[in-house]
Amino acid sequence: MPTTTKRPVHLTGTHVVVRTPRASDQSTLERLRADPEIDHYMGVDSGTGLLWRQVFLGDNSGSLADFVIAGARDDSPIGLISLWDRSIPHQAAELSVWIGEGHRNGGNGTEALRLALRHAFGPMALHKVYLRVLEYNVRAIRTYQKVGFRIEGTLREEMKVQGRWHNLIYMGILADDFAAADTLPT
């Protein structure tokens, strides 16, 4: 069973910090989340994504754990990682992640994922973390592979986005695979 604790999390990398959300993060995260590019890569059609743009944190989110991705220099939120519990308790969780405009393509996502996975496979005692990603989100797929995720399957024409059907790729990483691939300094 995954371990859930209410103890604050603060994981420090070179460029980012992955930490427990604070009430003061809400407005910044909602502003960052209101980005049409995030909608596109999450498969949310423009005009229908208002609910998807709301950011729920802590007890309101329904997730196993939420982690704010913040800049290491100023601790300002730049994105969010969530781990979602499965209804079948097999020490696994589904990961979702997004990073706001102006904070992508600099290694922030890769570093934040490594920090969050260390916590997931360490203190949370998960065995597996998995995710779903649209096939056209090539940047994200590369990032997931960089930290050790493997493609486990493809659901053909699973999501209709902007009037076109797209494949949905399932990716996963096991605790042992991550331990072998973890290259972030401790």
Q: From the centroid of its chain, how far is CA 12?
A: 17
Q: Would you say 162 and 184 are in contact if contact means Cβ atoms under 8 Å apart?
A: no
* pLDDT per residue as tens digits for the range 30-73: 998 888 888 888 888 766 555 455 666 777 777 889 999 999 99
Structure tokens at 170: 């399932």
Q: 38 vs 54, 90, 160, CA distance in Å?
A: 13, 30, 16
* pLDDT per residue as tens digits for the range 126-179: 999 999 999 999 999 999 999 999 999 999 999 998 899 999 999 999 999 999
pTM, two decimals, is 0.88
- CA gap 133, 120 in Å, rounded: 20
Domains detected in the chain: 10-181 (3.40.630.30)
